[in-house]
Amino acid sequence: MSDNLVRQDRLIDEFSFKKRISRLFSSWEFILFLTLVGIFILFSFISPYFMDYFNLMNASLSFAEKSILALSMIFVILSGDIDISVASILALSSFAMGNASVKGAGSGTLVIIGLATGLAAGIVNGFLVTKIKIPSIAVTLATLSIFRGISQAILRDNAYTHYPLKFAYFGQGYIGNSVIPFEFVFFLVLAVLMGFILHKTTYGRKLYAIGNSASASRFSGINVDRIRFINFAVNGLFAGIAAVLLTSRIGSTRPNIATGWELEAITLVVLGGVAITGGKGNIFGVVIASLLVGYLKFGMALVNLSAKVMVITTGALLITAVLVPMLLEIAKAKQKLRSQRSELKLERKAS
Amino acid sequence: MKTNLNMKKRLESRESVLIGLILLFMAVMTITMPRFIHPSNLANILKDSSILIIVSLGQFLVILTGGIDLSVGSNIAFSGMAASLINQNNPELSPWIILVIGMAIGLGLGMINGSLVAFGKVPAIIATLGTMSVFRGFTFVISKGQWVTAHEMTDPFMNLPHGNFLGVPNLIWFAIFVVAAFFYFMRYTRSGREIYSIGGNKSAAVLVGVSEKKVQFLIFSISGLVSGMAGVLWAARYAAAVNEMATGFELQTVAACVLGGVSVAGGSGSVAGVLLGALFMGLLNNSMTMIRNMAFFQMLLQGLIVISAMTFNVVMERRQDKMLLNRRLA
């Protein structure tokens, strides 16, 4: 009886206001947020052009597409898979739109073609991973070169540059007469949508279950392969969305469009606190990480750092974002072991 | 015991299938394009394949344990660029010393990957995806975006791969040496067998005392070492150190491995298989440059080959498992 009471006390304690606040302040998302604020303060001292509302809004154009890729990548990584073919899906999708545009398709048709191509490519990945049962790393490494290879084989060293005037709105338009880009708002809408699915639906709960233990989930009646399949399909669809936005923004398609963006998308997800081994993470972290990396790069560009330095930064960020939590976990495990050992010693002495 | 025999038979058949494929491919090419069979072209194919063979064997070890090394292309670029810069600034230095320095640089980069994976517990794909861009970025930093071209390299340096020994180009000798070393290492040394055991059944291997950390550190170091060697040879062979060199090369090494029967799930594969897989890829690359406009199809074709080879491997494995299960039930 008293045991039960103690447990209840503990439960109440767990949910107490104080505990919740302290947990919030020590959370990964809060650290990210502080870093974001730090970046803003730092760059506003370094460059007078950083803290400008118009500049800040326009800068969102440079990361909105990559961040959209990251949104659906959360689902893939949460359930323990990975997709390194997204940038190539984007290229294929952009190629399909360019090809249709040359043949005189209107902007509505172009959007449908772009999305459908992305979805189809995602379905191919999902099929190979869940039906043929090849590990997702290997599948998407191969499709990475197949999808981009298709556009390279047909487009060769040419480019599609003719798109309808109306089509330009998605990537270059602003909301009403404001300076808020359409792309940025669209990213936020998608983030809310994906956040809702992730945190408020059974589908989202199942993703966490699969990421923690695929076999336990299977034995609990979750159709694991179907969910993984849907994840890859959605990831393809989102690459299609990003393709529409990017193609509309730069108004041209070359086979090498968006090369290396898979690295950026995965970096955002991992930096956002999603465990690369699956089963842990949330949408807020990834959204904050998107802003953080986006404005870090914007600031670096303002102070004239070369693109190569940024590539190094992205790679280093990716590794650190995975390495630091892993090292912390290892240290924690070691400490636990040590305290268990000393407890054991005390017990032995007492007896 | 029976399982062992069966495995052996399967691997042997895989290798004979590959040899058959290679011969068939060569026959088709010879009929459509007689200049293909010219000895100078065949020597060219062997030379082209040599670097791929060397790097694929490093990749083979990594895939064997269920990992992947995406940074080999960037490693080649960095060590090749570093070696070329050293050669440019110290023309009197012997090319052999430069080769050793290049290999040491490659080893160092490989050890970074190895430490991240073995001691930092970072998954191989993430670690090497990150270092892929970090190494490539630093290639630009040390070269300041410039190329090192043929007239800035010394003749002895460029002769490193091009020279002859007993009538065979040095580049091919390098490949022969590496293949022999890997063959011995994987078959007759304790570390080689440990790599197989970690890939085959990790928990069982750890239980009998194999150190997973040691094996992981070792394989990435070796992969780095051979990439460093390949980097020096690459720069000297093409007489140019370009920042973008060997971009996408990692896919070719993976292709050579899966064609050679290495399972992407880890645990199975052989040096001979990888050798043949790399030769086939070399053959394919060479013939594609001979056909007009085919170069644009290279990326697509490589991807298709990788995915078909992997599908084939998986289907074969599944059939094998079913056969074993039936036998056990009978």
Integer Cα distance of B117 and A317 in angstroms: 16
Integer Cα distance of A297 and A43 in angstroms: 11
A331 touching chain B per CB within 8 A? no
pLDDT at A144: 92
Asked if A133 and B314 come within 8 Å (Cβ–Cβ), the reply is: yes
Q: Please give the helix or strand (H or E) that residue B152 lies within, else none.
A: none
Asked if A141 and B254 come within 8 Å (Cβ–Cβ), the reply is: yes
A158 touching chain B per CB within 8 A? no
A350 touching chain B per CB within 8 A? no
List chain A residues with CB under 8 Å of B304.
142, 146, 149
Chain A, 233 to 272: residues with Cβ < 8 Å from chain B are: 260, 263, 266, 270
List chain B residues with CB under 8 Å of A314.
133
In this structure, what DSSP letter does residue A134 have? -
Integer Cα distance of B193 and B195 in angstroms: 5
In chain B, whose CA is at the least distance from the CA of A308?
Answer: B137
3-state SS, B70-129, equals CCHHHHHHHHHHHHHHHHHHCCCCCHHHHHHHHHHHHHHHHHHHHHHHHCCCCCHHHHHH
Q: State pLDDT tens for residues A260-312.
A: 898 889 989 988 989 888 888 999 999 999 999 999 989 888 888 887 888 88
E-strand ranges in chain B read 164-165, 168-169
pTM of the model: 0.86
Query: Of the candidates B18, B15, B44, B39, which has an alpha carbon nearest to the alpha carbon of residue B287?
Result: B44
Q: To the nearest whole angstrom, how far is the Cα of A266 from the nearest Cα of chain B?
A: 9
Asked if A152 and B299 come within 8 Å (Cβ–Cβ), the reply is: yes
List chain A residues with CB under 8 Å of B138.
312
For residues B106 and B139, the answer to whether their CB atoms sit within 8 Å is no
Residue in A134, A146, A263 closest to B264 by CB: A134
A277 touching chain B per CB within 8 A? yes
List chain B residues with CB under 8 Å of A329.
121
DSSP string, A89-106: HHHHHHHHHHHHHHTT--
* CB pairs A-B closer than 8 Å: 136
Residue in B133, B254, B307 closest to A263 by CB: B133
For residues B160 and B51, the answer to whether their CB atoms sit within 8 Å is no
Query: Collapsing DSSP states into helix, strand and coil, what is residue B60?
Result: helix
In this prediction, residue A1 has a pLDDT band, given cuts at 50, 70 and 90, of: very low
Q: To the nearest whole angstrom, how far is the Cα of B280 from the nearest Cα of chain A?
A: 17
Domain ranges of chain A: 30-306
In this prediction, residue A194 has a pLDDT band, given cuts at 50, 70 and 90, of: very high
CB atoms within 10 A of CB A127: 14
Provide CB contacts within 8 A for A53, sequence distance 6+.
A179
List chain A residues with CB under 8 Å of B136.
311
B140 touching chain A per CB within 8 A? yes
DSSP string, A310-335: HHHHHHHHHHHHHHHHHHHHHHHHHH
Residue in A84, A152, A308 closest to B300 by CB: A152
pLDDT at B16: 79
Asked if B310 and A142 come within 8 Å (Cβ–Cβ), the reply is: yes
In this prediction, residue A341 has a pLDDT band, given cuts at 50, 70 and 90, of: confident
**CATH code of the domain occupying B51-329:** 1.10.3470
Query: Would you report the helix, strand and coil content of chain A in percent, each value rounded to 5?
Result: 80, 0, 20
List chain B residues with CB under 8 Å of A152.
296-297, 299-300
**CATH code of the domain occupying A30-306:** 1.10.3470
In this prediction, residue A188 has a pLDDT band, given cuts at 50, 70 and 90, of: very high
Integer Cα distance of A100 and A90 in angstroms: 15
Interface confidence (ipTM) of the complex: 0.82
Top mean pLDDT of A55-64, A181-190, A297-306, B192-201 is at: A181-190
CB neighbour burial string for A251-277, b if at least 16 within 10 angstroms, e if fewer: eebbbebbeebbbbbbbbbbbbbbbbe
**Residue pLDDT tens, chain B, 330 long:** 455 555 555 555 677 778 888 888 888 888 887 877 788 788 888 888 999 999 999 999 999 888 889 899 999 999 999 988 888 888 888 888 889 999 999 999 999 999 999 888 888 888 898 899 899 888 888 888 778 877 778 777 787 777 777 877 888 888 999 999 988 888 888 888 888 888 888 888 888 888 888 889 999 999 999 999 999 999 888 888 788 888 878 888 988 888 888 887 777 888 888 999 899 888 888 887 777 767 788 888 888 888 888 888 888 878 888 888 888 887
Sign of CA dihedral A169, A172, A176, A180: positive
Q: To the nearest whole angstrom, how far is the Cα of B159 from the nearest Cα of chain A?
A: 32
In this structure, what DSSP letter does residue B10 have? H
A322 touching chain B per CB within 8 A? yes
A202 touching chain B per CB within 8 A? no
Integer Cα distance of A244 and B62 in angstroms: 38
Q: Please give the helix or strand (H or E) that residue B165 lies within, else none.
A: strand B164-165
